[in-house]
Structure 1
Amino acid sequence: MRQRRFLQVDVFGAEPYDGNPVAVVVDGEGLSTEEMQRFAAWTNLSETTFLLPPTVTDADYRVRIFTPGEELPFAGHPTLGSAHAWLATGGTPADRARLVQECGIGRVELRQREGRWSFAAPPLRRYETPDAATLARAVEALGLTTEDVLAASWVDNGPPWLALRLASAEAVLAVSPRYALFGDLFLGVVAAPGNGGADAEVRAFVADIGEDPVTGSLNAGLATWLTDTGVLSAPYVAAQGTALGRAGRVHVAAADGHLWVGGRTTTAIAGTVAL
């Protein structure tokens, strides 16, 4: 083991410590997949990331992203938190106005506007209405009825999110998940408008982590779905984490042919970790 630079970053908070923390091991070289997964399980956060040199010439850095139970090809708040950590520990992008991250789904572009870093929403790998049996599983797992669901769609951009649109923010906040029924489902619920002046209210649930406070990948998928179907138009702001006592705010904008998903990032802990 050796001492490696480490940051814990709050991401998407309306104010510091209102969002979702991500653990970032800045010096990830030399660690095996098993060692990374073990440490991610120990942090017990929704995600832990490891920064590495890029393997493609046009990327600024490479990131591997782990939940307590598995590696993900992409996740949103770890993308923003990892970019924050890379810059805070001396990383210098080839282009000061943008970053290019290499991860499991390939290259993800980030840009800075109004003091916030945003990532370009990745293309959806699966984007269709779920079959009746899968929707029935999701509805039962969330303690809902089919009449509660206005619409549903797969919005898989790495994590295989299945999103359900409900009638109101109050209905979203009333959801009481039954994790024993989830199996391999990643479930998100959304309604527009949201509470506290937000344009949407969002919650995200996965069996091995429970409720995620604020979820960039889900919000990126929702941005495509909600704007395509005319429920919302960019720019808009989504609230998430309300049910957990957090005040997450996800800013969605449209520019240069992309939807951009961003929010505040704040260093919470900085030091070293023995790995």
Structure 2
Amino acid sequence: MSRFEFKQVDVFSRVPLKGNPLAVVLGADELSAERMAAFAAWTNLSETTFVLAPRDPEADYRVRIFTTLEELPFAGHPTLGSCHAWLEAGGIPRGEEIIQECGVGLVRIRRRGGELAFLAPPLLKSGPVDASLVERVRLGLGLEEGVILRAQWVDNGAGWLAVMLADRAQVLALQPDHSQMMGLAVGVIAPWDAERDGDAAQFEVRAFISGDGMPEDPATGSLNAGVAQWLLSEGLAPASYVVSQGLTMGRAGRIQVEKVGDEIWIGGSTVTCIEGTLNL
């Protein structure tokens, strides 16, 4: 049994317990993949990460990301949460930006005003979703015919497909039947109405991972990165906007999206809730 520095952080929130929790094991180079997977299943969080020495000479650190079921090549809130934990533990980046190495390659992370943001990675799968799969999603979400306005693959490593509804209230009212969406990662998005909903955010999002230990994710960086690439490419969102996520779970996640030139950055706040030593 070995001892490791451990942190549990809350991502996409300035307030503890209102974002998306992440377990981070630092200096985890001696752990096997099997041991990592077992610990991730034990935490029962949407993701657990393990921070390692980089293999790529351009990277500041390497991270492996596990859900309760599998390892992911990339995920958003684990990227920001792991970077936050690494910096808090004394990590010093080589340059102005932090460079994270993970399954999809190198991910750029920047610091601005006390928040972190990652550069949205290229989509591994994009374009329209087959009509039969959209119908499966519609039934799984319990929606009437015609309620799904658009559907698009927005997969940057986590397998996401996204559907758009007309109204925020429709998103918040969803009570999905996960048995009909097993094996799918489905994001649902709708715009806020400024007069009715206010201006604290411009879109409402929910993220469903049917079959996972956490079937709904409270604040999702990878999904929102993929959705941003979709919306911005089709002129469906402004160059800078805020996403609200997690309300039905008692959370208040806020994801910042900003397009700078050809780059799309996904950011937000992270706060440390637990830190100590892990015996594993």
Relative to the length of structure 2, the TM-score reads: 0.95
Paired position in structure 1 for 2:138: 139
Distance 2:39 2:265 in 1: 30
Distance 1:39 1:9 in 2: 16
Q: Contact (CA 8 Å) 1:14, 1:247: kept in 2 or not?
A: no
1:231 aligned residue (221, 233, 236)? 236
2:13 equivalent to 1:16:
no
Corresponding letter in the other structure for 1:200: F
Corresponding letter in the other structure for 1:136: E
Alignment map for 1:1-275 (pairs within 5 Å): 1-95=1-95, 97-193=96-192, 195-197=197-199, 198-207=201-210, 208=212, 209-275=214-280
Distance 1:233 1:188 in 2: 19
What is the CA deviation profile of residues 167-199 of structure 1, one whole-angstrom value per residue up to 9, with x for unaligned ones? 110011011111111121100000012645210
Q: Contact (CA 8 Å) 1:108, 1:122: kept in 2 or not?
A: yes
What value does the CA root-mean-square deviation take over the aligned residues? 1.1
Q: Contact (CA 8 Å) 2:128, 2:153: kept in 1 or not?
A: yes
Q: 1:263 to 1:102 in 2, by over 3 A?
A: same
Deviation at 1:9, TM superposition (A): 0.7
Distance 2:106 2:261 in 1: 17
Q: Contact (CA 8 Å) 1:41, 1:68: kept in 2 or not?
A: yes
Deviation at 1:16, TM superposition (A): 3.0
Alignment partner of 1:85: what SS? helix
Deviation at 1:17, TM superposition (A): 2.4
Distance 1:111 1:146 in 2: 42
Distance 1:212 1:29 in 2: 28
Distance 1:164 1:14 in 2: 28
**Shift >6 Å, 4+ stretches:** none
What is the CA deviation profile of residues 101-130 of structure 1, one whole-angstrom value per residue up to 9, with x for unaligned ones? 000000100001122110000011111111
Deviation at 1:257, TM superposition (A): 2.5
Aligned length: 274
Deviation at 1:204, TM superposition (A): 0.1
Of the structure 1 ranges 15-24 and 83-92, higher mean CA displacement relative to structure 2 is found in 15-24
Distance 1:41 1:117 in 2: 27
Deviation at 1:14, TM superposition (A): 4.8
Q: Percent identity?
A: 52
Alignment partner of 1:36: what SS? helix
Distance 1:16 1:235 in 2: 25
Of the structure 1 ranges 39-48 and 13-22, higher mean CA displacement relative to structure 2 is found in 13-22
What is the CA deviation profile of residues 234-256 of structure 1, one whole-angstrom value per residue up to 9, with x for unaligned ones? 21000000111110000011125
Deviation at 1:145, TM superposition (A): 2.8
Q: 1:152 to 1:9 in 2, by over 3 A?
A: same
Distance 1:229 1:193 in 2: 18
Q: Contact (CA 8 Å) 2:27, 2:53: kept in 1 or not?
A: no
Of the structure 1 ranges 153-162 and 222-231, higher mean CA displacement relative to structure 2 is found in 222-231
Distance 1:245 1:230 in 2: 31
Distance 1:225 1:245 in 2: 28
Gaps of 5+ in 2: none
